[in-house]
Chain A
């Protein structure tokens, strides 16, 4: 199975700062089938990005995704208070559709 490794594990930032989260795959992801999700405590995850760089419906343009092959990134241009959460990447190109272990973005 494809293993996804996210870094860093935790990111401590202040509102207004930018955030860059990384997702590295153990093998190339077909058709850039990478998604990013946001999860807040006690809530179900929410899809942010699919196809490595396409924003899901209703997602603000401060969220952007990039990458190809084995290296993918999600960038939050300026953190709003509601952006502090855990972020997961997922590959859905090859079954089993594995997730990364998550990156927590916390308030500094």
Chain B
């Protein structure tokens, strides 16, 4: 079955950097789009970024554009989120999700499977 396990969260000072990882298993990682979604404490869901299945298209929320970078390593089935110039408002649980699409088809899809999330706290 699909498993997504996030890691790399922690406490970081404003202006600092952090890299989140998501280890994927139970499916062919390079066949599906992958998303990051975050949730600030006590707040709703916010979509952050998506990487297309072929790795050629990356989209971002306006709130993180220019600061965050999504990437992957298909040799070890891992999705990443590099977060730079962190702000207090980036404090949230970050979820890795697998897009619900047919395999190897460039089509939009919702977040079909979710990891358990990793908490990022930006504070001095």
- Which residue from chain A places its CB closest to the CB of B64 in the assembled complex? A96
- B111 touching A45 by the CB < 8 A rule? yes
B31 within 8 A of A: no
Known: A1-B62, A96-B59. Contact between A50 and B46, CB under 8 A?
A: no
Interface size on B, residues (CB 8 A): 23
A21 within 8 A of B: no
Inside 8 A of A44's CB, which chain B residues have their CB? 95, 114-117
- A96 touching B61 by the CB < 8 A rule? yes
- B110 touching A101 by the CB < 8 A rule? no
In whole angstroms, how far apart are the Cα atoms of A47 and B44 in the complex? 15
Interface range on chain A (Cβ under 8 Å from partner)? 20 to 34
CB distance from A10 to the nearest CB of B (A): 13
B40 within 8 A of A: no
Known: A45-B45, A95-B50. Contact between A50 and B109, CB under 8 A?
A: yes
Q: Provide the main secondary structure of the chain A interface.
A: loop
Q: Mark A27-43, 1 if CB is under 8 A from B, else 0.
A: 00001010101010000
- B60 touching A96 by the CB < 8 A rule? yes
CB distance from B110 to the nearest CB of A (A): 4
Known: A44-B116, A95-B50, A96-B60. Contact between A35 and B110, CB under 8 A?
A: yes
18 contacts between A and B (CB under 8 A): A1-B62, A31-B108, A39-B45, A44-B115, A45-B95, A46-B114, A47-B100, A47-B111, A47-B112, A47-B113, A50-B112, A56-B112, A92-B109, A96-B59, A96-B61, A96-B62, A97-B50, A101-B44
A-B contact sample (15 more), CB < 8 A, given A37-B45, A96-B60, A96-B62: A33-B110, A35-B111, A44-B95, A44-B116, A45-B111, A47-B100, A50-B109, A56-B112, A88-B44, A90-B47, A92-B110, A93-B108, A96-B47, A97-B59, A100-B44
